[in-house]
Amino acid sequence: MADNNIYDAIIVGGGPAGLTAAIYLARARYRVLVLEKDRFGGQITITHEVVNYPGIESTSGEALTETMRVQAANFGAEFMLAEVKGIEANDTIKTVSTSKGDFKAFALLIATGANPRHIGFEGESEFRGRGVAYCATCDGEFFTGKELLVIGGGYASAEEAMFLTRYASKVTILVRKDAFSCAKSIADEVMAHPKIEVKFNHELKSIEGTDMGIVKAHIYDNKNDTSFEYTASNQDTFGVFVFAGYVPNTSLVKDIVALDESGYIITDSDMQTNVKGVFAAGDVCIKGLRQVVTATADGALAACAMEKVAAAAHESTGIIPVVPNATRKAPQESVSVKASASATTDGSFVTEDMIPQLNAVFERMESAITLEVCSDGSDKGSELLSAMNEIAALSDKITVTQGSCDDMPAVRLVKNGQFTGLSFHGVPGGHEFTSFILGLYNASGPGQAVDDADMQRIKSIAAPTKIQVLISLSCTMCPDLVVAAQRIASLNDNVTTEVYDLNLFPALRDKYKVMSVPCLVVNEEHISFGRKNMSELLDIILK
């Protein structure tokens, strides 16, 4: 019996493990749904350069996982951005409860990954975003010309320390043990770098600072049982980047499947947990090496075993999920347009390969939008005007006018002669290109889907609310917050969302003491740092 309301497999988590499993299951013509809370790609999307994935000489984490996502979608995998609230896994048909409803499947894969570990030294929380950072790609440029401490002795620490030498005057790596835990070739490269000093058997205990940033660190030598104070050689402020491992995201299943003492999921050789039909893959599992290649291997193993579970369920229940047509794309709420990694040869803003993706979005727009460009006559102002004209040339639903506003250059989105509350200060390229296009789609309508609970909270915002999102175009974690803030503004006239490229507005960076992005400022008072989804942002606004 065919059934449109059930899946063969549901995958919770859209990183390399989950995406690989989706590729295998969808290619085998099983119906599969991938659920992701924030953005597809996982932790690897913040890695600037991946050079050890077999068959690909060099790429970025975001580009690699986006290729995986498209590949899975083309085989027929379905994708949804939703937060999983609960799981019922005791029966043949499992139920996954999410912020967008309940979904059922014969097999479940938990691929929720892990988050960067906060190691708990004194001052870590106090200076997060103002000297303490966890993403070299996102925040490295804020420390140009400064000295840095890097905490950790693994692969991530070594690779990110190398990346940070592009900006820092000096990098000192503190390794708690007596050697790196990464490959010797990488460790040797780090040790030989003229800008890097490595201190083995050293631990960061505390940091001190002022409103301007971190000025002092207390470091413990655990081999000689001595301590000393670290200050920058030029008495300037310095930064601390933490790459000290990860904490598994297993709170969702801690009472459902067996975990080890560190909170990682225990699986067998087929990646199945102690609960029949429930599998786990990727960084959420026990393993000796946490890399993309091991995550994809886990996903492939799990998928092959999940196929057998689904096939057996077809026989025992008589229910066969209806598989969508292959070559389908991600659903409408997952609109994605990838900006060119480098400038085109003719200097244009929109590349040829982007045009079909843009047209697909513009065709769904309901109302005309005017891009009101506020140019200050600078080179960036002229670049912004040219870029907006290129976008407008692709659709008769988009026009460009010139105006004047605070903090130029900027572009304001106007509908029916009224400001929509959405504006971008700078040129929305790099990682913010997609979020800008989504802003157009959300302002015009129908926009991205919002679950009922969040919609009620958005409508309840009665006081004027000014949201500023301070970003850099190289930040891979910024677009999630930008899209959420813009969507809220598009749905409530009491809310405005202004996005700023901090490279063009140093006065804002100084005003809010920003050394990490994204930085969220609500009503010029509440300041917080880091990626946030819509529910988390609403918690702050409605506090």
Query: Are 378 and 499 contained in the same domain?
Result: yes
Please report whether residue 339 resides in a domain: no
Lateral strand order in the sheet of 213-221: 202-210, 213-221, 226-230
Please report whether residue 121 resides in a domain: no
- pLDDT band per the 50, 70, 90 thresholds, residue 63: confident
Query: Are 155 and 89 contained in the same domain?
Result: no
Distance CA 189, CA 196 (A): 10
Q: What is the DSSP letter of 349?
A: S
Distance CA 193, CA 230 (A): 21
Confidence (pLDDT) at 201: 98
Please report whether residue 329 resides in a domain: no
Told to judge if 139 belongs to the known catalytic residues of this protein, a careful annotator would answer yes
Query: Are 29 and 171 contained in the same domain?
Result: no
- Look at 164-168, 301-305, 375-379 and tell me which has the smallest mean pLDDT: 375-379
Please report whether residue 269 resides in a domain: yes
The tokens describing 454, both together, are 């969040």
Confidence (pLDDT) at 325: 66
Give the per-residue SS3 of 290-321.
CCHHHHHHHHHHHHHHHHHHHHHHHHHHCCEE
Say how far residue 237 (Cα) sits from the centre of its chain: 28
Helix ranges (H only) for 51-206 are 61-75, 136-139, 155-164, 184-192
Residue 32, domain CATH: 3.50.50.60
Confidence (pLDDT) at 347: 63
Kindly state the average pLDDT of the residues 183-195: 94
What separation in angstroms does the CA of 326 have from each of 28, 90, 108, 350, 385? Answer: 11, 31, 22, 29, 40
How many separate domains does the chain show?
3
Percentage of the residues of the chain whose pLDDT score is greater than 70: 94
Query: Are 503 and 359 contained in the same domain?
Result: yes
Q: What is the pLDDT of residues 1-55, one digit of tens each?
A: 666 789 999 999 999 999 999 999 999 999 999 999 877 887 777 666 777 789 9
Which of 242, 274, 289 is a domain's end point?
242
Query: Are 166 and 209 contained in the same domain?
Result: yes
Out of 8, 38, 135, 519, pick the active-site residue.
135
Query: Are 446 and 468 contained in the same domain?
Result: yes
Told to judge if 182 belongs to the known catalytic residues of this protein, a careful annotator would answer no
Query: Are 373 and 426 contained in the same domain?
Result: yes
Which of 217, 242, 267 is a domain's end point?
242
Told to judge if 475 belongs to the known catalytic residues of this protein, a careful annotator would answer no
Q: What is the pLDDT of residues 259-289, one digit of tens each?
A: 999 899 999 999 999 999 999 999 999 987 7
Element (H, E) at 17: helix 16-27
Q: What is the pLDDT of residues 387-401, one digit of tens each?
A: 999 999 999 999 999
Per the prediction, the chain carries an average pLDDT of 91
The number of residues making up the chain comes to 543
Please report whether residue 325 resides in a domain: no
Out of 38, 138, 374, 454, pick the active-site residue.
138
Please report whether residue 161 resides in a domain: yes
Please report whether residue 37 resides in a domain: yes
What separation in angstroms does the CA of 209 have from each of 235, 238, 240, 271? Answer: 12, 10, 12, 46
Single out the residue of 63, 70, 141, 57 nearest to residue 339, CA to CA: 63
Confidence (pLDDT) at 42: 78
The tokens describing 392, both together, are 């407008």
Expressed as residue numbers, the domain containing 288 is 6-115+246-317
117: pLDDT strictly greater than 80: yes
Query: Are 19 and 147 contained in the same domain?
Result: no
Which of 242, 266, 285 is a domain's end point?
242
Q: What phi, psi does 415 have (nearest 5°)?
A: -130, 130
Confidence (pLDDT) at 124: 95
Query: Are 235 and 137 contained in the same domain?
Result: yes
Query: Are 225 and 154 contained in the same domain?
Result: yes
Confidence (pLDDT) at 338: 54
Query: Are 142 and 111 contained in the same domain?
Result: no
CA angle (213, 176, 222) in 5-degree steps? 100
Confidence (pLDDT) at 3: 65
Out of 38, 139, 298, 454, pick the active-site residue.
139
pTM of the complete model beyond 0.75: no
Kindly state the average pLDDT of the residues 91-120: 92
Q: What is the pLDDT of residues 315-357, one digit of tens each?
A: 999 999 988 765 444 333 445 555 543 344 456 888 887 888 8
Q: What is the pLDDT of residues 415-440, one digit of tens each?
A: 999 999 999 999 999 889 989 999 99
Please report whether residue 125 resides in a domain: no
What separation in angstroms does the CA of 141 have from each of 114, 138, 401, 478? Answer: 25, 8, 33, 15
Confidence (pLDDT) at 403: 92
Query: Are 50 and 74 contained in the same domain?
Result: yes
Distance CA 281, CA 473 (A): 31
